[in-house]
Amino acid sequence: MGFVKWLNLLTIFHLFAVTPIFSYSSSFTSKFLDLAKEPEVFDWMVDIRRKIHENPELGYEEFETSKLIRSELTKLGIPYKHPVAVTGVIGFIGTGSSPFVALRADMDALAMQELVEWEHKSKVPGKMHACGHDAHVSMLLGAAKILKAHEKEIPGTIILVFQPGEEGHGGAKKILASGALENVSAIFGLHVHPNEPVGEVTSKSGSLAAGSGFFEAIISGKGGHAAIPHHAIDPIVATSNVIISLQHILSREVNPLDPQVLTVGKFQGGDAYNVIPDSVTIGGTFRAFSRESVMYLKKRIEQVIIGQAAVHRCNATVSFLDEEKPYFPPTVNNEELHEYFNSVVGNLLGVDKVKRAKLLTASEDFAFYQEAMPGYIFFLGMENKSVEQLPSAHSPYYKVNEDALPYGAAIHASLASNYLLKLHQDLPLVQEKYNDEL
Protein backbone atom coordinates (compact mmCIF):
# COMPACT_ATOMS: atom_id res chain seq x y z
CA MET A 1 0.00 0.00 0.00
CA GLY A 2 1.22 3.45 -0.89
CA PHE A 3 0.58 4.67 2.59
CA VAL A 4 2.95 2.13 4.18
CA LYS A 5 5.69 3.17 1.77
CA TRP A 6 4.97 6.73 2.65
CA LEU A 7 5.19 5.95 6.35
CA ASN A 8 8.55 4.28 5.83
CA LEU A 9 9.76 7.28 3.93
CA LEU A 10 8.59 9.56 6.67
CA THR A 11 10.27 7.36 9.25
CA ILE A 12 13.53 7.69 7.38
CA PHE A 13 12.93 11.39 7.12
CA HIS A 14 12.24 11.44 10.83
CA LEU A 15 15.44 9.65 11.72
CA PHE A 16 17.74 11.79 9.63
CA ALA A 17 16.08 15.16 9.41
CA VAL A 18 17.46 17.97 11.52
CA THR A 19 13.98 19.27 12.23
CA PRO A 20 11.34 16.77 13.33
CA ILE A 21 8.54 18.99 12.01
CA PHE A 22 6.88 17.74 8.88
CA SER A 23 7.08 20.24 6.07
CA TYR A 24 3.64 21.42 4.98
CA SER A 25 5.02 22.40 1.61
CA SER A 26 5.21 18.66 0.89
CA SER A 27 5.38 17.92 -2.79
CA PHE A 28 1.74 17.11 -3.34
CA THR A 29 0.07 19.99 -1.54
CA SER A 30 2.29 22.64 -3.07
CA LYS A 31 0.71 21.63 -6.38
CA PHE A 32 -2.83 22.16 -5.12
CA LEU A 33 -3.01 25.85 -6.03
CA ASP A 34 -1.70 25.30 -9.57
CA LEU A 35 -4.08 22.39 -9.94
CA ALA A 36 -7.04 24.49 -8.76
CA LYS A 37 -6.16 27.13 -11.36
CA GLU A 38 -6.16 24.59 -14.21
CA PRO A 39 -9.20 25.04 -16.48
CA GLU A 40 -10.28 21.49 -15.65
CA VAL A 41 -10.87 22.52 -12.04
CA PHE A 42 -11.30 26.31 -12.31
CA ASP A 43 -13.82 26.42 -15.19
CA TRP A 44 -15.73 23.57 -13.61
CA MET A 45 -15.97 25.43 -10.27
CA VAL A 46 -17.06 28.63 -12.03
CA ASP A 47 -19.74 26.72 -13.90
CA ILE A 48 -21.09 25.10 -10.72
CA ARG A 49 -21.05 28.40 -8.86
CA ARG A 50 -23.01 30.14 -11.62
CA LYS A 51 -25.58 27.35 -11.80
CA ILE A 52 -26.19 27.61 -8.06
CA HIS A 53 -26.25 31.39 -8.30
CA GLU A 54 -29.01 31.27 -10.92
CA ASN A 55 -31.14 29.03 -8.73
CA PRO A 56 -30.83 30.29 -5.14
CA GLU A 57 -32.66 28.31 -2.44
CA LEU A 58 -33.40 29.32 1.16
CA GLY A 59 -32.48 27.38 4.30
CA TYR A 60 -33.66 23.72 4.31
CA GLU A 61 -35.04 24.18 0.79
CA GLU A 62 -31.71 23.61 -0.98
CA PHE A 63 -33.13 20.65 -2.93
CA GLU A 64 -31.68 21.46 -6.36
CA THR A 65 -28.37 22.62 -4.89
CA SER A 66 -28.15 19.36 -2.94
CA LYS A 67 -28.98 17.36 -6.08
CA LEU A 68 -26.30 19.16 -8.07
CA ILE A 69 -23.71 18.46 -5.34
CA ARG A 70 -24.65 14.77 -5.24
CA SER A 71 -24.48 14.43 -8.98
CA GLU A 72 -20.99 15.99 -9.05
CA LEU A 73 -19.82 13.78 -6.18
CA THR A 74 -21.13 10.72 -8.03
CA LYS A 75 -19.24 11.76 -11.18
CA LEU A 76 -16.09 12.11 -9.07
CA GLY A 77 -16.63 8.68 -7.54
CA ILE A 78 -16.99 10.14 -4.04
CA PRO A 79 -19.41 8.28 -1.74
CA TYR A 80 -21.80 10.38 0.34
CA LYS A 81 -24.56 10.28 2.91
CA HIS A 82 -27.91 11.98 2.18
CA PRO A 83 -30.21 13.34 3.45
CA VAL A 84 -28.51 14.74 6.51
CA ALA A 85 -30.31 17.68 8.15
CA VAL A 86 -33.00 17.75 5.41
CA THR A 87 -30.93 18.78 2.34
CA GLY A 88 -27.39 18.30 3.65
CA VAL A 89 -24.83 16.05 1.96
CA ILE A 90 -21.81 14.46 3.67
CA GLY A 91 -19.05 13.18 1.34
CA PHE A 92 -16.09 10.93 2.17
CA ILE A 93 -12.59 10.88 0.66
CA GLY A 94 -9.76 8.65 1.89
CA THR A 95 -9.50 5.33 3.70
CA GLY A 96 -13.05 5.45 5.11
CA SER A 97 -11.72 4.99 8.61
CA SER A 98 -10.25 7.09 11.41
CA PRO A 99 -8.79 9.68 11.79
CA PHE A 100 -11.42 12.03 10.38
CA VAL A 101 -11.11 15.69 9.46
CA ALA A 102 -14.04 17.76 8.13
CA LEU A 103 -14.40 20.64 5.66
CA ARG A 104 -17.63 22.62 5.67
CA ALA A 105 -19.52 24.67 3.07
CA ASP A 106 -22.93 26.27 3.59
CA MET A 107 -25.51 26.11 0.77
CA ASP A 108 -28.35 28.55 1.45
CA ALA A 109 -29.31 31.86 -0.17
CA LEU A 110 -31.14 34.92 1.17
CA ALA A 111 -34.71 36.17 0.74
CA MET A 112 -33.81 39.29 -1.26
CA GLN A 113 -33.97 40.49 -4.84
CA GLU A 114 -30.73 40.51 -6.84
CA LEU A 115 -30.09 43.92 -8.45
CA VAL A 116 -26.91 42.98 -10.36
CA GLU A 117 -27.61 42.78 -14.09
CA TRP A 118 -25.47 39.96 -15.51
CA GLU A 119 -25.75 36.80 -17.51
CA HIS A 120 -26.12 34.55 -14.49
CA LYS A 121 -28.46 36.72 -12.40
CA SER A 122 -30.80 34.88 -10.00
CA LYS A 123 -33.74 33.43 -11.90
CA VAL A 124 -35.86 33.28 -8.75
CA PRO A 125 -37.55 36.59 -7.86
CA GLY A 126 -36.93 37.56 -4.25
CA LYS A 127 -34.08 35.08 -3.68
CA MET A 128 -30.37 35.69 -4.06
CA HIS A 129 -26.97 34.27 -3.17
CA ALA A 130 -25.77 37.50 -1.55
CA CYS A 131 -23.42 35.94 0.99
CA GLY A 132 -21.24 33.87 -1.34
CA HIS A 133 -22.51 30.45 -0.25
CA ASP A 134 -22.71 29.50 -3.95
CA ALA A 135 -18.94 30.08 -4.08
CA HIS A 136 -18.45 28.11 -0.85
CA VAL A 137 -20.14 25.05 -2.38
CA SER A 138 -18.14 25.24 -5.59
CA MET A 139 -14.84 25.62 -3.72
CA LEU A 140 -15.54 22.59 -1.53
CA LEU A 141 -16.34 20.60 -4.67
CA GLY A 142 -13.09 21.93 -6.17
CA ALA A 143 -11.21 20.69 -3.10
CA ALA A 144 -13.00 17.34 -3.41
CA LYS A 145 -11.86 16.97 -7.01
CA ILE A 146 -8.24 17.72 -6.10
CA LEU A 147 -8.26 15.47 -3.04
CA LYS A 148 -9.91 12.60 -4.87
CA ALA A 149 -7.00 12.61 -7.33
CA HIS A 150 -4.65 12.15 -4.34
CA GLU A 151 -6.86 9.81 -2.34
CA LYS A 152 -4.20 7.08 -2.01
CA GLU A 153 -1.89 9.50 -0.20
CA ILE A 154 -4.49 10.47 2.41
CA PRO A 155 -3.92 8.61 5.72
CA GLY A 156 -7.48 8.85 7.04
CA THR A 157 -10.81 10.26 5.92
CA ILE A 158 -11.76 13.75 4.80
CA ILE A 159 -15.42 14.50 5.44
CA LEU A 160 -17.06 17.02 3.11
CA VAL A 161 -19.91 18.80 4.87
CA PHE A 162 -22.44 20.52 2.59
CA GLN A 163 -24.60 22.18 5.20
CA PRO A 164 -28.07 23.69 4.79
CA GLY A 165 -29.53 26.74 6.47
CA GLU A 166 -26.64 28.87 7.72
CA GLU A 167 -28.48 32.21 7.48
CA GLY A 168 -30.13 32.24 10.89
CA HIS A 169 -31.41 28.66 10.71
CA GLY A 170 -28.64 26.92 12.65
CA GLY A 171 -28.11 24.20 10.02
CA ALA A 172 -24.80 23.33 11.70
CA LYS A 173 -26.70 22.34 14.83
CA LYS A 174 -28.83 19.92 12.80
CA ILE A 175 -25.77 18.41 11.10
CA LEU A 176 -24.23 17.78 14.52
CA ALA A 177 -27.47 16.32 15.84
CA SER A 178 -27.45 13.79 12.97
CA GLY A 179 -24.26 12.28 14.43
CA ALA A 180 -22.51 12.46 11.05
CA LEU A 181 -19.52 14.26 12.58
CA GLU A 182 -18.91 11.90 15.49
CA ASN A 183 -15.21 11.11 15.94
CA VAL A 184 -14.08 14.05 13.78
CA SER A 185 -10.75 15.42 15.07
CA ALA A 186 -11.06 18.91 13.58
CA ILE A 187 -13.25 20.94 11.22
CA PHE A 188 -12.29 23.79 8.89
CA GLY A 189 -14.48 26.35 7.16
CA LEU A 190 -14.11 29.56 5.22
CA HIS A 191 -16.14 32.61 4.26
CA VAL A 192 -15.45 34.79 1.24
CA HIS A 193 -14.61 38.40 2.11
CA PRO A 194 -15.36 41.22 -0.37
CA ASN A 195 -12.94 43.76 1.13
CA GLU A 196 -9.77 41.68 1.43
CA PRO A 197 -7.49 41.15 -1.58
CA VAL A 198 -7.80 38.00 -3.66
CA GLY A 199 -4.95 35.63 -2.85
CA GLU A 200 -4.97 36.68 0.82
CA VAL A 201 -6.67 35.29 3.89
CA THR A 202 -7.45 36.74 7.30
CA SER A 203 -8.26 35.05 10.56
CA LYS A 204 -7.31 35.01 14.21
CA SER A 205 -6.98 32.75 17.18
CA GLY A 206 -9.78 32.85 19.77
CA SER A 207 -12.94 34.95 19.29
CA LEU A 208 -13.63 35.93 15.71
CA ALA A 209 -17.39 36.53 15.39
CA ALA A 210 -20.00 37.26 18.02
CA GLY A 211 -22.50 34.96 19.61
CA SER A 212 -25.99 36.31 19.12
CA GLY A 213 -29.43 35.88 20.50
CA PHE A 214 -32.81 37.50 19.94
CA PHE A 215 -35.57 38.50 22.33
CA GLU A 216 -39.13 39.71 22.20
CA ALA A 217 -41.11 41.17 25.11
CA ILE A 218 -44.71 42.17 25.66
CA ILE A 219 -45.19 44.92 28.23
CA SER A 220 -48.82 45.04 29.34
CA GLY A 221 -50.58 47.85 31.12
CA LYS A 222 -54.16 49.01 30.88
CA GLY A 223 -55.43 51.02 27.94
CA GLY A 224 -57.47 54.18 28.26
CA HIS A 225 -58.14 57.75 27.17
CA ALA A 226 -55.02 59.81 26.62
CA ALA A 227 -56.60 62.73 28.47
CA ILE A 228 -57.11 60.77 31.71
CA PRO A 229 -53.82 58.84 32.16
CA HIS A 230 -54.52 58.24 35.86
CA HIS A 231 -57.29 55.80 34.86
CA ALA A 232 -54.87 53.81 32.68
CA ILE A 233 -51.54 52.04 33.17
CA ASP A 234 -49.38 53.40 30.36
CA PRO A 235 -47.17 50.71 28.75
CA ILE A 236 -45.57 53.23 26.36
CA VAL A 237 -43.83 55.19 29.09
CA ALA A 238 -42.99 51.94 30.88
CA THR A 239 -41.43 50.51 27.71
CA SER A 240 -39.48 53.71 27.07
CA ASN A 241 -37.84 53.25 30.46
CA VAL A 242 -37.30 49.55 29.78
CA ILE A 243 -35.29 50.42 26.68
CA ILE A 244 -33.20 53.05 28.42
CA SER A 245 -32.47 50.62 31.27
CA LEU A 246 -31.45 47.91 28.80
CA GLN A 247 -28.78 50.25 27.41
CA HIS A 248 -27.47 50.77 30.95
CA ILE A 249 -26.56 47.08 31.12
CA LEU A 250 -23.91 47.79 28.49
CA SER A 251 -22.73 51.14 29.82
CA ARG A 252 -22.70 50.31 33.54
CA GLU A 253 -22.52 46.55 34.08
CA VAL A 254 -20.30 44.94 31.48
CA ASN A 255 -16.55 45.22 31.04
CA PRO A 256 -15.84 47.98 28.48
CA LEU A 257 -12.96 45.83 27.17
CA ASP A 258 -15.36 43.00 26.36
CA PRO A 259 -17.32 44.29 23.32
CA GLN A 260 -21.08 43.70 23.46
CA VAL A 261 -24.13 44.90 21.57
CA LEU A 262 -27.76 45.21 22.62
CA THR A 263 -30.11 46.71 20.06
CA VAL A 264 -33.89 47.09 20.28
CA GLY A 265 -34.97 47.08 16.66
CA LYS A 266 -38.68 46.58 17.13
CA PHE A 267 -41.10 48.83 19.06
CA GLN A 268 -44.78 48.35 18.37
CA GLY A 269 -47.62 49.79 20.40
CA GLY A 270 -50.53 52.14 19.95
CA ASP A 271 -52.34 53.34 16.83
CA ALA A 272 -54.09 56.54 17.82
CA TYR A 273 -52.82 59.94 19.01
CA ASN A 274 -55.25 60.06 21.89
CA VAL A 275 -55.38 56.47 23.15
CA ILE A 276 -53.13 54.75 25.67
CA PRO A 277 -52.74 51.17 24.34
CA ASP A 278 -53.08 48.01 26.40
CA SER A 279 -49.65 46.75 25.56
CA VAL A 280 -46.39 47.31 23.70
CA THR A 281 -44.22 44.71 21.97
CA ILE A 282 -40.49 45.22 21.65
CA GLY A 283 -37.80 42.99 20.17
CA GLY A 284 -34.08 43.08 19.65
CA THR A 285 -30.76 41.27 19.47
CA PHE A 286 -27.79 40.92 21.80
CA ARG A 287 -24.25 39.94 20.90
CA ALA A 288 -20.98 39.19 22.70
CA PHE A 289 -17.73 37.32 22.12
CA SER A 290 -17.83 34.77 24.91
CA ARG A 291 -20.52 32.35 25.97
CA GLU A 292 -20.47 33.75 29.52
CA SER A 293 -21.04 37.31 28.29
CA VAL A 294 -23.90 36.23 26.03
CA MET A 295 -25.51 34.31 28.90
CA TYR A 296 -25.09 37.25 31.27
CA LEU A 297 -26.81 39.57 28.79
CA LYS A 298 -29.64 37.11 28.32
CA LYS A 299 -30.25 36.84 32.07
CA ARG A 300 -30.12 40.59 32.63
CA ILE A 301 -32.35 41.44 29.64
CA GLU A 302 -35.13 39.38 31.18
CA GLN A 303 -34.62 40.81 34.68
CA VAL A 304 -34.45 44.43 33.52
CA ILE A 305 -37.52 44.20 31.28
CA ILE A 306 -39.67 42.59 33.99
CA GLY A 307 -38.28 44.78 36.78
CA GLN A 308 -38.51 48.07 34.94
CA ALA A 309 -42.03 47.27 33.71
CA ALA A 310 -43.03 46.58 37.32
CA VAL A 311 -41.72 50.00 38.38
CA HIS A 312 -44.47 51.39 36.12
CA ARG A 313 -47.12 48.89 37.34
CA CYS A 314 -46.92 46.90 34.10
CA ASN A 315 -46.41 43.16 33.59
CA ALA A 316 -43.91 41.87 31.11
CA THR A 317 -43.23 38.53 29.43
CA VAL A 318 -39.93 37.88 27.68
CA SER A 319 -39.23 35.25 25.02
CA PHE A 320 -35.85 34.34 23.52
CA LEU A 321 -37.41 32.87 20.35
CA ASP A 322 -35.55 29.56 20.67
CA GLU A 323 -37.54 28.02 17.82
CA GLU A 324 -37.77 30.82 15.25
CA LYS A 325 -34.43 32.51 15.85
CA PRO A 326 -32.12 30.16 17.74
CA TYR A 327 -29.14 31.43 19.71
CA PHE A 328 -25.77 31.27 17.88
CA PRO A 329 -22.67 30.76 20.03
CA PRO A 330 -19.60 32.99 19.53
CA THR A 331 -17.22 31.84 16.80
CA VAL A 332 -14.02 30.94 18.66
CA ASN A 333 -11.04 29.61 16.71
CA ASN A 334 -8.94 26.90 18.29
CA GLU A 335 -5.47 28.17 19.20
CA GLU A 336 -3.53 25.12 17.98
CA LEU A 337 -5.44 25.08 14.71
CA HIS A 338 -4.53 28.74 14.29
CA GLU A 339 -0.81 27.88 14.43
CA TYR A 340 -1.45 25.02 12.05
CA PHE A 341 -3.44 27.24 9.64
CA ASN A 342 -0.71 29.91 9.59
CA SER A 343 1.89 27.29 8.81
CA VAL A 344 -0.05 25.50 6.04
CA VAL A 345 -1.52 28.58 4.35
CA GLY A 346 1.68 30.55 4.82
CA ASN A 347 3.44 27.85 2.85
CA LEU A 348 0.77 27.73 0.18
CA LEU A 349 0.27 31.47 -0.43
CA GLY A 350 3.28 33.10 1.25
CA VAL A 351 3.44 34.27 4.87
CA ASP A 352 2.69 37.87 3.85
CA LYS A 353 -0.70 36.75 2.50
CA VAL A 354 -1.93 35.48 5.87
CA LYS A 355 -3.23 38.40 7.92
CA ARG A 356 -4.99 39.06 11.17
CA ALA A 357 -8.78 39.47 11.04
CA LYS A 358 -10.76 42.01 13.05
CA LEU A 359 -13.56 40.96 15.40
CA LEU A 360 -16.99 40.86 13.77
CA THR A 361 -20.29 41.53 15.55
CA ALA A 362 -22.04 39.37 12.95
CA SER A 363 -22.52 35.68 13.75
CA GLU A 364 -21.66 32.46 11.92
CA ASP A 365 -23.26 29.13 12.69
CA PHE A 366 -19.86 27.44 12.24
CA ALA A 367 -19.67 28.25 15.97
CA PHE A 368 -21.87 25.23 16.70
CA TYR A 369 -19.17 22.91 15.33
CA GLN A 370 -16.57 24.68 17.43
CA GLU A 371 -18.55 23.91 20.56
CA ALA A 372 -18.46 20.21 19.65
CA MET A 373 -14.88 19.82 18.34
CA PRO A 374 -11.75 21.87 17.54
CA GLY A 375 -12.74 24.13 14.66
CA TYR A 376 -11.21 26.87 12.58
CA ILE A 377 -12.78 29.35 10.16
CA PHE A 378 -11.08 32.05 8.11
CA PHE A 379 -11.89 34.72 5.54
CA LEU A 380 -10.89 34.32 1.93
CA GLY A 381 -10.15 37.61 0.13
CA MET A 382 -11.99 38.39 -3.12
CA GLU A 383 -11.15 42.01 -3.84
CA ASN A 384 -9.26 43.01 -6.99
CA LYS A 385 -8.89 46.80 -6.81
CA SER A 386 -7.82 47.01 -10.44
CA VAL A 387 -11.25 45.67 -11.43
CA GLU A 388 -13.82 47.01 -8.97
CA GLN A 389 -14.76 47.51 -5.35
CA LEU A 390 -17.14 44.79 -4.16
CA PRO A 391 -20.28 45.58 -2.15
CA SER A 392 -20.61 44.05 1.31
CA ALA A 393 -22.32 40.74 2.07
CA HIS A 394 -26.16 40.79 2.02
CA SER A 395 -26.19 43.69 -0.45
CA PRO A 396 -28.54 43.32 -3.45
CA TYR A 397 -25.49 44.34 -5.52
CA TYR A 398 -23.33 41.58 -4.01
CA LYS A 399 -20.80 39.99 -6.38
CA VAL A 400 -18.31 37.15 -6.11
CA ASN A 401 -14.89 37.54 -7.72
CA GLU A 402 -14.50 34.06 -9.18
CA ASP A 403 -10.70 34.47 -9.28
CA ALA A 404 -10.83 33.63 -5.57
CA LEU A 405 -12.25 30.13 -6.16
CA PRO A 406 -8.92 28.31 -6.76
CA TYR A 407 -7.51 29.77 -3.54
CA GLY A 408 -10.42 28.49 -1.48
CA ALA A 409 -10.31 25.04 -3.09
CA ALA A 410 -6.53 24.71 -2.64
CA ILE A 411 -6.60 25.92 0.97
CA HIS A 412 -9.43 23.52 1.86
CA ALA A 413 -7.54 20.63 0.26
CA SER A 414 -4.24 21.55 1.94
CA LEU A 415 -5.74 22.05 5.39
CA ALA A 416 -7.50 18.69 5.37
CA SER A 417 -4.77 16.54 3.80
CA ASN A 418 -1.92 18.01 5.84
CA TYR A 419 -3.94 17.67 9.01
CA LEU A 420 -4.25 13.93 8.50
CA LEU A 421 -0.57 13.67 7.54
CA LYS A 422 0.33 15.53 10.69
CA LEU A 423 -1.82 13.25 12.87
CA HIS A 424 -0.02 10.25 11.42
CA GLN A 425 3.32 11.90 11.86
CA ASP A 426 2.60 12.74 15.49
CA LEU A 427 1.04 9.46 16.58
CA PRO A 428 2.02 6.15 14.97
CA LEU A 429 5.26 7.49 13.62
CA VAL A 430 6.81 7.59 17.05
CA GLN A 431 6.03 3.88 17.53
CA GLU A 432 7.28 3.14 14.04
CA LYS A 433 10.54 4.83 14.86
CA TYR A 434 11.01 2.87 18.08
CA ASN A 435 10.21 -0.35 16.22
CA ASP A 436 12.96 0.44 13.78
CA GLU A 437 15.40 1.11 16.58
CA LEU A 438 14.51 -2.12 18.37
Smaller CB separation from Zn ion, 161 or 429: 161
- What's at 291, amino acid-wise? R
> Which ranges constitute the DSSP H helices of 149-215?
171-177
Asked whether position 233 contacts ligand NAG by CB under 6 A, the answer is: yes
Please select the residue that binds ligand NAG; options are 65, 220, 260, 425, rule is CB under 6 A: 220
Please select the residue that binds ligand NAG; options are 64, 216, 402, 403, rule is CB under 6 A: 403
DSSP E strands: which ranges in 271-374? 275-276, 279-288, 315-319, 331-333, 354-356
* Nearest CA among 375, 296, 379, 393 for reference residue 336: 375
Smaller CB separation from ligand NAG, 93 or 128: 93
Instruction: Please check whether residue 232 is in contact with residue 222, taking contact to mean a CB–CB distance below 8 angstroms.
Output: yes
Residue 427 binds what, of ligand NAG, Zn ion, none (CB under 5 to 8 Å, by partner type)?
Answer: none
Interacting residues with ligand NAG between 194 and 213 (CB under 6 A) = 198-199
**Closest separation in Å from C-beta 164 to Zn ion:** 13
Decide: helix, strand or coil at residue 229. Answer: helix
**Closest separation in Å from C-beta 165 to Zn ion:** 11
The stretch near ligand NAG (CB under 6 A) out of 177-185, 247-255, 285-293, 411-419 is: 177-185
Distance CA 436, CA 417 (A): 26
DSSP E strands: which ranges in 112-229? 157-163, 184-197, 201-203, 206-209, 211-220, 224-225
- Dihedral pair phi/psi, residue 24, rounded to 5°: -75, -15
Diameter over CA atoms, the chain: 97
* Nearest CA among 322, 326, 314 for reference residue 232: 314
Give 298's contacts (C-beta < 8 A, 6+ positions apart): 213, 215, 286, 320, 327
**Closest separation in Å from C-beta 433 to ligand NAG:** 26
Asked whether position 182 contacts ligand NAG by CB under 6 A, the answer is: yes
Asked whether position 384 contacts ligand NAG by CB under 6 A, the answer is: yes
Asked whether position 221 contacts ligand NAG by CB under 6 A, the answer is: yes
Instruction: Please check whether residue 249 is in contact with residue 327, taking contact to mean a CB–CB distance below 8 angstroms.
Output: no
Decide: helix, strand or coil at residue 31. Answer: coil
Smaller CB separation from ligand NAG, 57 or 200: 200
Asked whether position 402 contacts ligand NAG by CB under 6 A, the answer is: no
Smaller CB separation from ligand NAG, 210 or 276: 276
Please select the residue that binds ligand NAG; options are 71, 74, 183, 268, rule is CB under 6 A: 183
Please select the residue that binds ligand NAG; options are 90, 147, 159, 314, rule is CB under 6 A: 314
133 is in an annotated binding site: yes
**Closest separation in Å from C-beta 385 to ligand NAG:** 8
Distance CA 125, CA 112 (A): 8
Distance CA 30, CA 252 (A): 52
The stretch near ligand NAG (CB under 6 A) out of 22-30, 67-75, 101-109, 220-228 is: 220-228
Residue 242 binds what, of Zn ion, ligand NAG, none (CB under 5 to 8 Å, by partner type)?
Answer: none
Residue 131 binds what, of Zn ion, ligand NAG, none (CB under 5 to 8 Å, by partner type)?
Answer: Zn ion
231 is in an annotated binding site: no
Residue 183 binds what, of ligand NAG, Zn ion, none (CB under 5 to 8 Å, by partner type)?
Answer: ligand NAG
**Closest separation in Å from C-beta 72 to ligand NAG:** 23
Q: Burial-class residue 149 by CB neighbours within 10 Å (0-12, 13-18, 19+).
A: middle
394 is in an annotated binding site: yes
**Closest separation in Å from C-beta 181 to ligand NAG:** 8
Q: Would you tell me which residues interact with Zn ion (CB under 5 A)?
A: 131
Distance CA 121, CA 168 (A): 24
- What's at 18, amino acid-wise? V
Binding residues with ligand NAG: total (CB under 6 A): 16
Smaller CB separation from ligand NAG, 155 or 211: 155
- What's at 275, amino acid-wise? V
**Closest separation in Å from C-beta 210 to ligand NAG:** 31
Instruction: Please check whether residue 108 is in contact with residue 58, taking contact to mean a CB–CB distance below 8 angstroms.
Output: yes
167 is in an annotated binding site: yes
Pairing of strands 354-356, 201-203: parallel
The stretch near ligand NAG (CB under 6 A) out of 129-137, 160-168, 175-183, 351-359 is: 175-183
Determine the Cα angle at 397 with ends 396 and 401, to 5°.
130
Q: Which residues bind ligand NAG (CB under 6 A)?
A: 179, 182-183, 198-199, 220-222, 233, 313-315, 384, 386-387, 403
Question: Binding site: which residues?
Answer: 131, 133, 167, 191, 394
